[in-house]
Structure 1
Amino acid sequence: MVNTNQPGPISQVLAPIRGHLIVSTLLAGLGTMLTLVPLAGIAHIAALALGQPGLTKLWPMQPQSAVGWTVAVGVICLFIGMTLILVGELTAHLADNRLVHQLRLATAQRLAKVPLGWFSNRTSGEVKQAMQDDIVTLHSLTAHFYTAAGRACGVILISVAYLLWLDWRMALLALLPFPGFFLFLRRAMNTDDAPRQDFVTQLGRLNSTTVEFVTGIPVVKAFGVTGKAHANYRDAVDSVAKAFTKLTGPLVASMAHAHAMIAPITVLGVVLASGTVFVGLGWMTPVEILPFALVAPGICAPLLLLHTLLHDLGSATGAAQRVIGLLETPILEPIPTTQQQTPVGNEVRFHNVSYAYDPQHQVLSGGSFTLQPNTITAIVGPSGAGKSTLAQLLLRFFDPTEGNITLGGADLRCIEASQLYRHIGFVLQDVRLIHASVRDNIALGHPSASAQEVESAARAANIHDRILALPRGYDSVIGEDAQLSGGERQRISVARAVLLDPPVLVLDEATAAADAQNEVALQNALSDFAQGRTLLVIAHRLDTIMHADRILVLENTRIVEQGTHEQLLQRNGRYAQLWAKGGYDIPVAEEVQPC
């Protein structure tokens, strides 16, 4: 059952500063009302100057002193109103600064506690949108939306109240265009949904055609079929243009009528026409029409502003939903001090380990094996069999849904993170370097390392000479003056692992991104570094792991075979079939990790 009492995403995000926003909105609205007092004063002075006392109920004094008092009250109200608006804006901006500060800290603290595997399922753009772009969108909401809405509502309320107070009959006629605006606006919002669906369909077709066109350029050029490729793309572009025209035609017409209804000239025309009739009937004097001519057209701009603000609220709602989603990301539960365990030795055991992203995505089922100290264990199998997931479980990127993994007899879930990664290092296929110097990237897990220790690690990873060739050597910044190839980035990752000097090492396709020259350098670096360590190696190329102490064959999320290279060949099972097909893994459906 849906909980209808659940507050909306914007209400949830703005809860800590709700009181400040209410105050800022009221101050802005009241201040705007006071700034409009001079308009009433102008109409009153005009009546006094013309000797017509029709508006003297506004300020019942003698004409000689009334003008001075009217001017004084108008100026005082103007400055008080501007001060209230200023205080309201300041209150909103201070509340916004507090909220943005809290959200940025909260999202960073949340991400520090989520499983490392969470990041492998998301692009940096997705995380950046929630942490930066969406919070900037919420800044516009908190710092500007509510005070702007308060000012607009203040203008509308005080104007309508003032006009009704002067003459309710004339006020109703002067305000007559505004209901028409809402009727045309509702008509625009209730347009046929078919053109909208057609536009979405054609836009999807254009996206697909664009991808096909761009990715297929080498083929169409090689086979001389550019005319057909261009024709398909051009047809998709034309279809989008036609669908857009069908969608926006009625919408633009209705919106144009709505805006025409509350154009200042329209409202002024209604006021003058109605005023002429009222004067002719003797119900009002010409000077009594002046306040309506001054105030009624002034309602148009704030009403349009209010409409625009409410329309833009949709994007803020989406931003709030994404920020809340980020703040509610499941985390690895902290380990109570009383439950923390310390590894004794470096033996790794998998006990009936299973893992599933959800009930429909079982990735690993009942895996049990042991990584003996100072041995090499290799994992092979088709793509999607769960090889990388198994390695990520050892690194505690995720926690098993069933079973457990122990290091030196201690459950990984009971080992403090910094202690865990002093025992287990890794070099993965997908290398993540931060926007910092090469030195800082190598020393990421050991910030207190000396320059000599960093350089020694780089030498061991066969990357020292390449770093010295950079414009500023070890001080060169990744992404600025340090442009590195995939293989060179992998060697930076190896140097990072060397510096930590862990007794257990996980290698997941560590040479996959390297060219032939870099692969040789990487293999040499890894061979030297692996000496005397416990290794878990994932590889598609069987000839690179044939000398492993144990080989695990995964298929359909299960370990179907295990043993040495010779033992597995003698069994003539799945491993032997893979070896007979050239020593390479058979590619099947890619392992999909849902976001």
Structure 2
Amino acid sequence: MTLQSHKDTRGGTALREQSSLAQLPAENSGRAKHKAGQQALRRLLGPVQPIVYGAQFLALVSSILAVAPYVVLVSLGDALLLGETQRVKVIVQWLITAFLLQLGLYFVALLVSHLADVKLVGVNRRKIIASLSRAPLSWFSQSNSGKVRKAVEDDTLTLHTLIAHAPVEQVAAIVTPAALLVYAFIVDWRLGLLSVASVPVYFAIQAFSMKDMGTKTAQLDDYLGAVSATAVEFAEGISVVKAFGTVGKAHGRYQEAAQRFADFYYEWVRPLLRLSALSESLVALPVVLLINVGAGSALVHAGTVTVPQLVATTLIALVIPGTIQTVGMMMWSYQLAGNAALRLEEVMSIKPLPEGSFELADAPNLPVQFHNVSFSYPSGARVLQNFSATLHPGTVTALIGPSGSGKSTAATMLARFQDPDEGAITIGGVDIRQLSFASLYRTVAFVLQDPHLLQLSIRDNIRLARPAVTDEEVWAAAEAAHIAQDIRALPAGLDTVVGAGVSLSGGQQQRISIARAVLADAPILILDEATTAADPDCEAEIQAALNVLVRGKTVLVIAHKPESIRGVDQIIELDVQKESTDD
């Protein structure tokens, strides 16, 4: 086999690693984020808003009915003082009825709001899955899995309190004390004033201390995001940094992010502690009891109010502190949910990769051509410049070059991990952007350096591209990939679920991914140096499996080792382009 070698000096530039944390937003940015979060939240809640309104109406009726037990309680006290036994029985019946009705309506309201929450979780997760399914494959390499997991799991559940509890509890926390206070003033205006004597001062202090709560919460979310990102980065690379004794340097970014968060949090919270303690003490139960019982007793002694009236209004006064704290918790939930809504919208609005409709004929002799392809990452770093190449049917082409020269970018563009900024890639003369995804992935298969197996059975992992094949065909692919013996050694064989109590080595996972590619039997194959991460014992078996896999196919190899290009038909070398210093 003749070895043809040519050098393409038009390969792009390397991505620069950003070694410093991004500048965190200032107060104005935090305020803007808070406003954007609330707008995103309103849009996100749109599908379930009518159901939420229904739950709030039921909560409103329940809250108004909450006055009934207090009205009945006053009547009951008067009847007991007068010794009207028969009337007491009737009043007790009304008291029980009113309480059960109020409680029943509140239960139904919560049931409706929980149904709204279930519906919203379903709607959001379907939107996320639909968005991810249409996203360019390059998006997943630029975004860590934690971001997707947080959106699918954490952020959708963050809205649980907001939908399942907040609408009902907030209405109850506002309407119930308002209705009770109206009744307290109806009983006696002086008892009504005693019920809320300390509340205006409490609200004034709280309003002063919480005036920038929305802005600060948005900033807090950003600082926590920086801490989380650097912690994940440090944890994922811990084996490397320990091996090379650079733990101190490696966790410096995490320490810096954590320190920034701590400085921000202490600066924000420290002045609020005394104000919060003072305001909370004003509505503490002993203070409320002291005000109402102390001053109320004087009114009873003066004969202007009765003991049942004082007891009823004192109980009303005791309800108010709890409802105030409930409102505060709900407000905090709205602020947190705004940040979650922004993240959810970001994942839901990934710019989809446009799909063509052309169907390629199932033919093995299709040439692949790169026509003056240029590509830059979102950061502006250009990795390919006017790259042209032809992959003849049935040949093996190796892409070589230093890190950052665009080898992986050029190869994976053939599988539409990303589309070129300029130029085109054709298969059989057809621009791959005109192909349907089904046609493209029947034609192009790939085995990447880092194999990824789904948490499914080994059988389903191998037949992922062709789910209808028989077990005989699955075993044939496993034999070709030199993994059949390892699978038979497992207790459940092909039924073994990856990641469910069974640990597979990197070499075994790689050979399962090769079996998957064997079964797909696509005429064009991309190999991203499948043996790089394998141990020496597995490397020979993986290489033997690859030799079977590439037979008769048009192969594009991303080569990192000299031995990877032995016997190839064509070598294309990509260089890192020097950055221009022109003004």
Change in CA separation of 1:516 and 1:103 when aligned onto 2, cut-off 3 Å: same
- Once the two structures are superposed, the pairs formed by residues 21-60 of structure 1 within 5 Å of their partners are 21-50=52-81
Which residue matches 2:7?
Answer: none
- Whether the 8 Å contact between 1:350 and 1:405 is mirrored in structure 2 is yes
Change in CA separation of 1:210 and 1:284 when aligned onto 2, cut-off 3 Å: same
Q: Larger relative contact order (C-alpha < 8 A, sep ≥ 6)?
A: 2
CA distance in 2, matches of 1:490, 1:421: 19
Question: Which stretch of the first structure deviates more once superposed, 422-431 or 234-243?
Answer: 234-243
Q: 2:126 aligns with which of 105, 110, 113?
A: 105
Which residue matches 2:143?
Answer: 122
Q: 1:400 aligns with which of 415, 420, 424?
A: 420
SS in 2 for 1:112: helix
Which residue matches 2:343?
Answer: 322
- Once the two structures are superposed, the pairs formed by residues 332-351 of structure 1 within 5 Å of their partners are 332-336=353-357, 342=361, 345-351=365-371
The one-character-per-residue Cα deviations of 1:546-573 (angstroms, maximum 9, x if unpaired) are: 4322211212369xxxxxxxxxxxxxxx
Measured after TM superposition, the shift of residue 434 of structure 1 is 0.3
Which residue matches 2:187?
Answer: 166
Over the matched positions of the two proteins, sequence identity in percent amounts to: 34
Q: 1:275 aligns with which of 267, 286, 296?
A: 296
Which residue matches 2:97?
Answer: 76
Measured after TM superposition, the shift of residue 492 of structure 1 is 0.9
CA distance in 2, matches of 1:110, 1:238: 36
SS in 2 for 1:425: strand
Change in CA separation of 1:472 and 1:357 when aligned onto 2, cut-off 3 Å: same
- Whether the 8 Å contact between 1:335 and 1:416 is mirrored in structure 2 is yes
Change in CA separation of 1:311 and 1:241 when aligned onto 2, cut-off 3 Å: closer
Q: 1:428 aligns with which of 421, 443, 448?
A: 448
1:441 equivalent to 2:461? Answer yes
Q: 1:419 aligns with which of 429, 439, 462?
A: 439
Which residue matches 1:266?
Answer: 287
CA distance in 1, matches of 2:151, 2:321: 36
Measured after TM superposition, the shift of residue 110 of structure 1 is 2.2
**Bigger radius of gyration among the two:** 1
Measured after TM superposition, the shift of residue 191 of structure 1 is 9.8
TM-score by length of 1: 0.80
Change in CA separation of 1:38 and 1:190 when aligned onto 2, cut-off 3 Å: closer
- Once the two structures are superposed, the pairs formed by residues 194-343 of structure 1 within 5 Å of their partners are 250-279=271-300, 283-336=304-357, 342=361
Which residue matches 2:520?
Answer: 500
The aligned amino acid for 2:143 is R
Question: Which stretch of the first structure deviates more once superposed, 467-476 or 371-380?
Answer: 467-476
CA distance in 1, matches of 2:208, 2:78: 42
- Once the two structures are superposed, the pairs formed by residues 133-144 of structure 1 within 5 Å of their partners are 133-144=154-165
SS in 1 for 2:45: helix
The aligned amino acid for 1:15 is G
Measured after TM superposition, the shift of residue 21 of structure 1 is 0.3
Measured after TM superposition, the shift of residue 213 of structure 1 is 9.7
Gap regions ≥5 residues in structure 1: 53-62, 559-595
Change in CA separation of 1:288 and 1:451 when aligned onto 2, cut-off 3 Å: closer
Which residue matches 1:13?
Answer: 44
Which residue matches 2:10?
Answer: none
- Whether the 8 Å contact between 2:391 and 2:554 is mirrored in structure 1 is yes
Change in CA separation of 1:447 and 1:213 when aligned onto 2, cut-off 3 Å: closer
Which residue matches 2:406?
Answer: 386
RMSD: 3.9
Change in CA separation of 1:499 and 1:217 when aligned onto 2, cut-off 3 Å: closer
Which residue matches 1:131?
Answer: 152
CA distance in 1, matches of 2:332, 2:501: 44
The aligned amino acid for 2:147 is E
SS in 2 for 1:76: helix
CA distance in 2, matches of 1:16, 1:328: 17
Which residue matches 1:525?
Answer: 545
- Whether the 8 Å contact between 1:32 and 1:82 is mirrored in structure 2 is no
Change in CA separation of 1:387 and 1:95 when aligned onto 2, cut-off 3 Å: same
CA distance in 2, matches of 1:215, 1:502: 36
Measured after TM superposition, the shift of residue 413 of structure 1 is 1.5
Gap regions ≥5 residues in structure 2: 1-31, 579-583
CA distance in 1, matches of 2:386, 2:245: 48
The one-character-per-residue Cα deviations of 1:98-133 (angstroms, maximum 9, x if unpaired) are: 222222222222222222222222333321221122
